[in-house]
Chain A
Amino acid sequence: MIKLKVNGIDRSFDGDPDMPLLWYVRDILALTGTKFGCGMALCGACTVHKNGQAIRSCVTPMSSAANSEIRTIEDLGANGLHPVQKAWMELNVPQCGYCQSGQIMQAASLLKGTPHPTDNEIDEAMAGNICRCGTYQRIRQAIKLAAGKTA
């Protein structure tokens, strides 16, 4: 039996411990804000926070999520919109939006550790998150807009 916290709620899981966290969150908890894009840690669509760090849930087996605190996009703005989400909205970042849960989770985690990232730091932190619609320019601007506003 694997115990973990998802968005502040205690959960237990007794299925295949190899099942990636992504599918647990999506198919079993029905938290579908976290997306499937590649299944191989190549695109970042599945990014969630594990103990505050951005991780790729598609390659995180449930066994390694045991006893951790997971946060998904659904809970990022638990107390209203997160500054990253506000900046995303102000600058009209999303096109199709499919990658954006992952982008936002990644950006929120970047700003937590690096409140005022340089262009290079943004590139480094965001390089694992693909946006096929090509919203990168706005993502960069939005991260700068949100910079310094995150708790």
Chain B
Amino acid sequence: MTQIENVSRRKFLQGAFGAGAFVLAVRHARFIPSILAQGAPLDWQSEADRAAFHPNLFVGIQPDGTVYIIAHRSEMGTVIRTSLPLVLADELDADWKRVKIDQGIGDKRYGDQNTDGSQSVRRFFTTMRECGATARLMLLQAAAARWNVPAAECSTELHVVVHKASGRRLAYGDLAADASHLPVPKKEDLQLKKPADWRYIGKGAKSVDLENLCTGKAVFGMDARMEGMVYASIEHPPVFGGKVKTVDDQETLKVAGVRQTVSIDPFKPPAAFQPLGGVAVIADNTWAAFQGRKKLKITWDNGPNETYDSAEYKKELRETSHKPGKVIRSVGDSDKTFPTENVVEADYYVPLLAHTPMEPLVALAEFKDGKVTAWAPTQNPQAVQAIVSSQLGIAKEDVVCHVTFLGGGFGRKSKPDYVAEAAVLSKKLGRPVKVVWKREDDVQFDYYNAVAAMYMKAAVDEKGKPTAWLQRSVFPPISSIFDVTQVYGDPPHLAQGWTDLPYDLPSIRIENGPAQAHVRIGWLRSVANIYHGFAVQCFTDELAHRAHRDPVEYQLDLIGPPRTLDFTGVTYPNYGADYKTYPWETGRLRGVIESVAEKSGWAKKKNGKGHGFGFAAHRSFLTYVATVVEVEISDDGTIRIPRVDTAVDAGIVVNPEALRAQFEGAAVFGTSIVRTGEITAKNGIIQQSNFNDYPVARIHEAPAHTNVYITESSAPPAGVGEPGVPPFVAAFCNAIFAATGKRVRDLPLSSNGNFD
């Protein structure tokens, strides 16, 4: 666990803070400014950057009262740079207006920094509270000593310690120097606030970066600049695992602004986060590099994935999904023969999906004196350190990764292949290199969300309720990027809305079949929950309609009474969270279902021709969500989404406004998945390239209004970035059925021909 120590006493202050400052560190951290002067060269060689001792600080207090709090997770739009420091500030009783946020570099001493899995708040909520409470207690002790009164007689108000009996007050800044000499109290001596006393937690705050994001001043990876840098654009092997055979760069070198071309070695399997290889065009500006690439004449050795055809592959997955697979979980007598009477079956399919964050992949790196300094929009700066260190044969500690703002991430920017490219090129060229991916590169060389086929089967009684349930999924696993022999779903991803089917049925059998990957597979916002939630929630809707029952009431019937799901004997990783702290409680799922039904006026909704309402509920990333989607479909097939209602139980919510924004965004993200999300391949080559052939939802296609209802809860905090996507996808498809009588079993709509 986290060790808190008073680094002031160890003279960790020089460079970052003035003398007399009170600095509390959780392990060791480094201190760097995150918002760089717009247009100015990055301050990559500053004292703070290069300090021989770089105190890795979560909080520091200056004699002038300024409180510095480190944001060690990446900002890609979830407002985490605000929400997590807010937790610390709350326990510190700090005045938020006097808090400054600084972005931490990649450093394992912070603990996990991979900003994915919707886990920033839940993993660091307690750490942040303890850091704040520790600082507060030490300030309090410093004041008590100054006044020569027992600490127990002192308390804190906003940014001050007070001694009520004598009416004396001392500001935090005035106590910083004294506090820096005190020993750090033990965890047991800390008194965390009661929830009723929270100032900020639960109320939230606006993003500290709001103005910079609205004025063009925020520095994204795309905006990083460094003295003497050159620009690189890379022609990657068009087929995954391919290699360069021959290169003719004569015409490229004639392009004004192009300096040279550089080959990058192909990766050695497994691909993991290694560069894909190819030919880089080095130029004086981005445009020249792009132009130079057009003139390259390269022949490729495509390798075995040359035969990959996504249409054929779909058939293979479906066939596999019809054969017995590995049993993941079994309830009741599911291993006996399945009933043959009153059986309902359905096949569902979700294709490969690309992330397309608004900011294409980009990274700036400089290799100098055996060390690398990188500036990157990365979700995982420690993974940057790891891959750069292994690619260049240097120590991880010799890789400094500064985290810029991310122009979206959605999981793509957890995989730092693009940062490794910049580092590899910088080493070859002996100068800073900025690698810029075109949108076409981003679409064609993604780590795609897995294509998946789901086979669903139920035998139902006279009331239409299942007496036996079988579900089997087949998808190339993410683990294949780390081990090419992996073909079965790995437990963490099977657990995403599949293993944990929450239905109270006498017989359940959950299976998974094998699939070989032919492209890089990776995490995308809500990951396997997308296809698992789609299949389970749409199939449930099918059964409800078949039974002439209300889908909400029917689902509540299947979920059964409030209880904690029992996974004894089942591998259920629960998103890496302790099951005792974060049990799967059907009562909480029922709660959001009842809430969304009430708030949306579900009981009074009437489906008509071209107008329908769909419902779905799903737990992911430890958060319970239920969603109702309204659709209008005109005679020409144009689909509108006038309204979405979504109820969320995410436990304690630090920043409700940020939660609402995430669920609004998730509905738009889900709209893209359902309408047009599809990556296909022919001869191993990805067929899509930009927003013309991989369209994402635009303003008139997105839900006009998403209402978000937050359940008040004292349960520990859970995820908010991803859980909105899966129930939206299913509810949208169920709404289309309600409006048209047509079932959407293969995504996206654009591949069905029925809808535009």
Name A residues whose Cβ lies closer than 8 Å to a Cβ of B. Answer: 15-16, 19-20, 23, 26-28, 30-40, 42-43, 45, 72-74, 76-77, 81, 85, 88-89, 92-101, 104, 119, 122-123, 126-140
Contact = CB atoms under 8 A, between A and B. Distances in A.
B40 to A, nearest CB: 8
A15 B665 contact: no
Contacts of A33: 38, 215-217
Interface string B617-659: 0000000000000000000000000000000000000000100
B699 A37 contact: no
A96 B406 contact: yes
B219 interface: yes
23 contacts: A23-B287, A27-B287, A32-B38, A32-B216, A32-B219, A32-B223, A36-B436, A43-B691, A94-B207, A95-B78, A96-B359, A97-B209, A98-B220, A99-B407, A126-B699, A127-B700, A132-B410, A132-B696, A133-B77, A133-B408, A134-B668, A136-B697, A140-B699
Top 9 A-B residue pairs of the complex, sorted by shortest distance between their CB atoms: A33-B216, A134-B668, A98-B407, A95-B77, A97-B213, A96-B77, A73-B216, A134-B665, A32-B223
Nearest to A126: B699
A106 B135 CA distance: 46
B554 interface: no
B661 interface: yes
A92 B657 contact: yes
Contact of B691 (A20, A35, A42): A42
A16 B256 contact: yes
* Most A C-beta atoms less than 10 A away, residue of B407, B666, B671, B702: B407
A97 B218 contact: yes
A128 B257 CA distance: 31
Given A96-B76, A98-B408, A126-B699, A38 B216 contact: no
B206 interface: yes
B215 A81 contact: yes
A43 B696 CA distance: 10
A30 B225 contact: yes
Interface string B259-298: 0000000000000000000000000011110100000000
A5 to B, nearest CB: 18
Interface in B355-414: 356-360, 405-410
Number of contact residues on B: which range applies?
Answer: 35 or more
Contacts of A92: 206-207, 210, 657, 661
A136 B644 CA distance: 14
Interface string B397-439: 0000000011111100000000000000000000000001011
A138 B216 CA distance: 18
A128 B231 CA distance: 28
Contacts of B360: 36-37
Nearest to A125: B699
The binding surface of chain B is classed by DSSP as: loop
A32 B36 CA distance: 12
A137 B664 contact: yes
Contacts of A130: 358, 691, 696, 698
Contacts of B7: none
B706 interface: yes
B359 A127 contact: no
Contacts of B704: 119, 137, 140
Given A42-B692, A94-B207, A135-B664, 15 more contacts: A31-B39, A37-B360, A74-B38, A89-B214, A92-B661, A94-B210, A98-B407, A101-B216, A129-B698, A130-B696, A131-B668, A132-B356, A135-B661, A136-B697, A137-B664
B358 A28 contact: no
Contacts of A136: 668, 697-699, 702
A137 B211 contact: no
B77 A97 contact: yes
B705 interface: yes
B669 interface: yes
A127 B691 CA distance: 13
A29 B213 CA distance: 20
Interface string B680-714: 00000000001110001111101111100000000
Interface in B187-224: 206-207, 209-220, 222-223
Nearest to A86: B214
Contacts of A134: 664-669, 671, 697, 702
Interface string B21-47: 000000000000000001100000000
